[in-house]
């Protein structure tokens, strides 16, 4: 009988492939194979890493016969993949992956792998379709928060929609200047750091706090950047240019990575001393380093 990890590895792999075909073909047609590959075909390196690690973890997850919920989930995903839409494929993998994480209870490795695959697909769907669709509502939030913070220490401050005006100088907050633009990608990076450390799924208060803290850091840092651009026009070119943007993103990534590394998202699967296989040594008389070794 076909194994459950095989079912999910094949179906999620097909979902990723279906989501990649359209965008990569467009990039290759417009920019060529070499230039497209150099730009990772317009897809973030975190997305590529999430797909690779997620599929690798699926292959190594718990074995066993596929259950009825596994087969039903695979059928739903298969029907969704018949829709000729890359965004539809990303959304289908995201929903099925997160649903599998929610309902699976006896396969922690499989749960963690499905969550990683679901968040990876969700991050790409957010970037491709969901954020552009919601940006008209979300970007004004960035402008309003930055305007409110600026009004705490300056008087001539106003904001409307995605415009922030300080001392008569208007600042237009574009989509890529919004904290929401990189929100899903940041959550994926946090989950990737967790996946590198352990194959256990996130859980408990650590999982909640470990995701909330990086999101809070992203919001505060992005607000500070918008306030700086609005109040220091002499440095606008640097802050908004490629060098300033790259520096900001790099520092933000390092800071959030340190937070995730210092606060794991769940219990770590660390091999204890007693689980190490030492040739010729058999531990008896209890558990722990004080157990008495017997040589055979």
Q: Does any domain span residue 292?
A: no
pTM assigned to the model: 0.80
Q: Does any domain span residue 284?
A: no
User: How far apart are alpha carbons 72 and 195 in whole angstroms?
Assistant: 27
Q: Does any domain span residue 45?
A: yes
Q: Does any domain span residue 285?
A: no
Q: In what order do the strands lie in the sheet with 163-166?
A: 157-160, 163-166, 169-172
User: How far apart are alpha carbons 263 and 71 in whole angstroms?
Assistant: 36
Q: Does any domain span residue 80?
A: yes
User: How far apart are alpha carbons 33 and 238 in whole angstroms?
Assistant: 32
Could you give the dihedral angle defined by the CA atoms of residues 261, 267, 273 and 279, in that order, rounded to the nearest 10 degrees? -100
Whole domain around residue 200: which residue ranges?
4-275
Which residues 6+ apart lie within 8 Å of 224 measured at CB?
none
User: How far apart are alpha carbons 256 and 218 in whole angstroms?
Assistant: 8
Per-residue model confidence (pLDDT) at position 269: 45
Per-residue model confidence (pLDDT) at position 116: 92
Which residue has 């994926």 as its token pair? 188
Per-residue model confidence (pLDDT) at position 81: 83
The partner residues of 158 in beta bridges, in order of sequence, read 165
Backbone angles phi, psi at 267, to 5 degrees: -70, 135
Q: Does any domain span residue 111?
A: yes
Angle at CA of residue 182, ends 157 and 249, nearest 5°: 80
Q: Does any domain span residue 170?
A: yes
The structural domain count of the chain equals 1
Which residues 6+ apart lie within 8 Å of 90 measured at CB?
15, 19, 121, 122, 124, 125, 128
Helix (H) or strand (E) holding 292: strand 292-295
The partner residues of 164 in beta bridges, in order of sequence, read 159, 171
CA distances from 195 to 174, 183, 198, 201, 260 (A): 33, 19, 5, 8, 11
Angle at CA of residue 130, ends 196 and 161, nearest 5°: 120
Angle between helices 183-197 and 242-262 (to 10 degrees): 40
Point out the residues of the chain with pLDDT beneath 70. Answer: 1, 201, 203-206, 261-296
User: How far apart are alpha carbons 164 and 245 in whole angstroms?
Assistant: 19
Nearest to 210 by CA among 241, 189, 237: 189
Report, in angstroms and rounded to the nearest whole number, the Rg of the chain calculated over CA atoms. 23
């Amino acid at each position: 009988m076909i194994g459950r990890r095989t079912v999910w590895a094949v179906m999620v792999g097909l979902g990723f492939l279906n989501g990649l075909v359209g965008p990569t073909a467009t990039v290759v047609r417009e920019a060529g194979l070499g230039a497209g590959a150099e730009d990772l075909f317009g897809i973030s390196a975190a997305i590529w890493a999430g797909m690779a690690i997620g599929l690798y973890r699926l292959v190594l997850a718990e074995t066993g016969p596929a259950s009825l919920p596994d087969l039903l989930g695979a059928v739903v995903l298969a029907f969704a993949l018949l829709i000729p839409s890359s965004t539809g494929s990303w959304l289908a993998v995201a929903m099925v992956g997160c649903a599998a994480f929610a309902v699976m209870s006896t396969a922690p490795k499989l749960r963690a792998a499905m969550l990683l695959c679901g968040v990876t697909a969700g991050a790409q769907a957010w970037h491709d379709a969901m954020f552009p669709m919601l940006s008209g509502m979300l970007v004004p939030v960035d402008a309003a928060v930055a305007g409110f913070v600026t009004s705490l220490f300056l008087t001539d401050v106003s904001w409307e929609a995605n415009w922030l005006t300080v001392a008569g100088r208007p600042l237009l907050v574009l989509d890529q200047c919004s904290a929401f633009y990189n929100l899903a990608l940041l959550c994926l990076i946090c989950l990737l750091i967790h996946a590198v450390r352990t194959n256990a799924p996130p859980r408990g208060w650590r999982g909640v706090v470990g995701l909330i803290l990086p999101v809070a850091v992203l919001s505060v840092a992005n607000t500070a950047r918008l306030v700086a651009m609005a109040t220091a026009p002499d440095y606008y070119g640097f802050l908004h240019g490629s060098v300033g943007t790259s520096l900001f993103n790099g520092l933000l990534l390092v800071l959030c990575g340190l937070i995730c590394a210092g606060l794991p998202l769940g219990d770590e699967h660390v091999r204890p001393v007693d689980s190490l296989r030492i040739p010729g040594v058999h531990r008896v008389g209890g558990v722990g380093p004080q157990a008495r070794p017997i040589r055979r």
